[in-house]
Amino acid sequence: MPAHASRRGVLAGAVAAFLALAVPAFATDEIDFGPAQAGRVRATKVDAAAKLIPTDYKFVTPGKFTVAAIPNRLPFSVLATDNKTPIGSEPDIAQLVADVLGLDLVLVPIAWADWPLGLASGKFDAVIHNVTVTEERKEKFDFSTYRKDLLGFYVSQTSKIESISNPEDITGLKIIVGAGTNQEQILLRWIEANKAKALAPTELQYYDDEVVLDLAVQSGRADAYFGPNAVSAFKATRQNNLKLVGTFSGGWPVTAEIAVATRKGSGLADAVTAALNAQIANGNYARLLARWNLTAEAIQASQTNPPGLPRK
């Protein structure tokens, strides 16, 4: 065999090994990527909730509930096989609310950065995509909560780390986190607190590529990843190489919740809150969360405009 052919063989083997480690096979046969979403949890109209819609409220399209979705990653939302229909946990929540209010659902795929202006200008009736309630956002929008905002520490299944439950537990570790995120701010505060106690330093790592991020955790280049629990929990159920070792509120030490956002003062929030509570009561809400492995983020009751994360 020529030397260059041998080198190609070695390189191909290395690439294959990298991909096998970096991109563990998802159980895609268990995920319905079709636009019809036959397994989606559905509901019937609840008059008590529908009657809370203000008589003077004007929907973007009469008789339809137009909701902004941000298809970027599961379990929140991605595009279906038709490359135009958003599917995931957030479209499922939107469908449930629409059903209860007796409306047809219209999902509008947008980029994350576009939702505040789009909602304020009336391009859609609501935004449903992992939006955390904050005091600053409450000045411009109304909210109906539907899920806890949890952050999770995830490590390799072979890691000796069993628990991260307080700031001292991150001493000496190399942790991957997203730049400019709530979780980064939490870690930076912990690092400063540990430094004041003369504890070992913590190294933060940043990756834009999720495949490289996963590889870093599996290879030991990083000890843990700290990010939105929903994403990693969903991934962990379909890969056998991650384990959860700790969860914290997205606003630690303040409790944070995820909510449906509607236009400020439109009056629609009370109807949405009632719709969500009706589905919490009848079990549909629990079934929906279980479909996307989000049971740990369930709330006991939806609230309209609860206390949000304080201004920074």
pLDDT digits (tens, 9 = 90+) for 154-206: 999 999 999 999 999 999 999 999 988 889 989 999 999 999 999 999 999 99
- Residue 311 binned pLDDT confidence (cut-offs 50, 70, 90): confident
User: Is there a single domain that holds both residue 144 and residue 266?
Assistant: yes
What pLDDT sits at residue 181? Answer: 81
User: Is there a single domain that holds both residue 142 and residue 159?
Assistant: no
DSSP 231-244: HHHHHHTT-SSEEE
User: Is there a single domain that holds both residue 158 and residue 168?
Assistant: yes
Q: What separation in angstroms does the CA of 206 have from each of 164, 209, 213, 228, 271?
A: 20, 9, 8, 15, 41
Does the pLDDT of residue 106 top 60, yes or no?
yes
- Name the residue range of residue 231's domain: 150-249
Q: For residue 201, is the peptide bond before it cis, meaning its omega torsion is within 30 degrees of 0?
A: no
User: Is there a single domain that holds both residue 166 and residue 80?
Assistant: no
| pTM, entire model | 0.81
User: Is there a single domain that holds both residue 189 and residue 229?
Assistant: yes
Q: What is the mean pLDDT of residues 240-264?
A: 92
Q: Would you put residue 205 in left (φ > 0), alpha (ψ -120 to 50) or beta?
A: beta
User: Is there a single domain that holds both residue 142 and residue 262?
Assistant: yes
What pLDDT sits at residue 137? Answer: 94
User: Is there a single domain that holds both residue 94 and residue 172?
Assistant: no
Q: Residue 103 belongs to a domain with what CATH number?
A: 3.40.190.10
What pLDDT sits at residue 182? Answer: 80
User: Is there a single domain that holds both residue 188 and residue 108?
Assistant: no
Q: What is the mean pLDDT of residues 120-137?
A: 95
For the chain, how many structural domains are there in total? 2
Q: What is the mean pLDDT of residues 132-151?
A: 95
User: Is there a single domain that holds both residue 140 and residue 35?
Assistant: yes
Q: What is the mean pLDDT of the chain?
A: 89
Give the tens place of pLDDT for each residue, 62-89: 999 999 999 988 999 999 999 999 999 9
Does the pLDDT of residue 222 top 70, yes or no?
yes
User: Is there a single domain that holds both residue 169 and residue 228?
Assistant: yes
What pLDDT sits at residue 300? Answer: 97
The verdict on residue 304 lying in a domain is: no
Residue that is last in its domain, among 211, 230, 249 = 249
